[in-house]
Amino acid sequence: MPSGVSLPVPPIEPPPSRWQLPPASRADEDGVVGLGADLEPGTLLEAYRGGLFPMPLRKRVIAWWSPDPRGIIPVDGLVVSRSLRKACARFVIEVDTAFDEVIEACADPSRPHGWISDSICDAYRRLHRLGWAHSVEAWTPQGELAGGLYGVAIGGLFAGESMFHRRTDASKVALVGLVERLQKAGASLLDVQWTTDHLRSLGAVDVTRSQYLGMLADAVSRTDVMAFA
């Protein structure tokens, strides 16, 4: 199992974006706010702070999204079944020891509905080096990466981007590890973008865009929260 890596604490603020992203309120009925811009660290952070996230709309065309409703998992509302609790005992949770491997696994082109391109991977690697993007990993006792997730942390916000598993329940165990970390640090918002049946079984709920933006404003203003210090 890889040893821990050193990340900036607090994270390093990059140069501001040269783009002015539209406000989340401009989203169309599908949740698309705009197209284009770039994936520089300053642009990504501006987007997350404004309630947006990037995802391709068409090949090589980046769209900025603000869905309504928005999926979140309440930090105090994760549903941990008895079987999931037992699964937690089978893995070791680490943070930021294998960010590149996690994002590459999430970007595996053989996965159904895969959308994470090389440019997306490179963008979040840059954010990771600056201390904003993080991975949570589930390892077997033998040192095999069994599953994990990655996302962006800003103050009391963790914006989840993707997760993967190679062993049964490993991604869910990584999520349990993430939520425990967020609770301990006093974080207030875990964004999962859209709810699915799988995420709803773990406690995800829908909130309106206006509710989300209110929760977001409070979360990103929390300079006292260092969930990944």
Domains parsed from the chain with CATH numbers: 70-220 (3.40.630.70)
Number of C-alpha atoms within 13 angstroms, CB side, residue 215? 21
At residue 5, the pLDDT reads 62
Listed residue (149, 191, 186) closest to 48, CA to CA: 191
pLDDT score for 4: 54
Amino acid at 202: L
Structure token digits, residue 174: 């990584």
Contact indicator for 37, 61 with CB cutoff of 8 Å: no
What stretch of H or E contains 48? helix 41-49
What is the total residue count of the chain? 229
Distances (CA, A) of 148 to 69, 70, 105, 162: 26, 22, 9, 9
Q: What is the pLDDT along the chain (229 residues), one digit of tens a residue?
A: 665 566 877 899 999 999 999 999 999 999 999 999 999 999 999 999 999 999 998 777 899 999 999 999 999 999 999 999 999 999 999 999 999 999 999 999 888 777 899 999 999 999 999 999 999 999 999 999 999 999 999 999 999 999 999 999 999 999 999 999 999 999 999 999 999 999 999 999 999 999 999 999 999 999 999 999 8
pLDDT at 60: 77
pLDDT at 7 (0 to 100): 82
pLDDT of residue 2: 66
Global pTM value: 0.96
Closest CA to 121 of 162, 177, 158, 166: 162
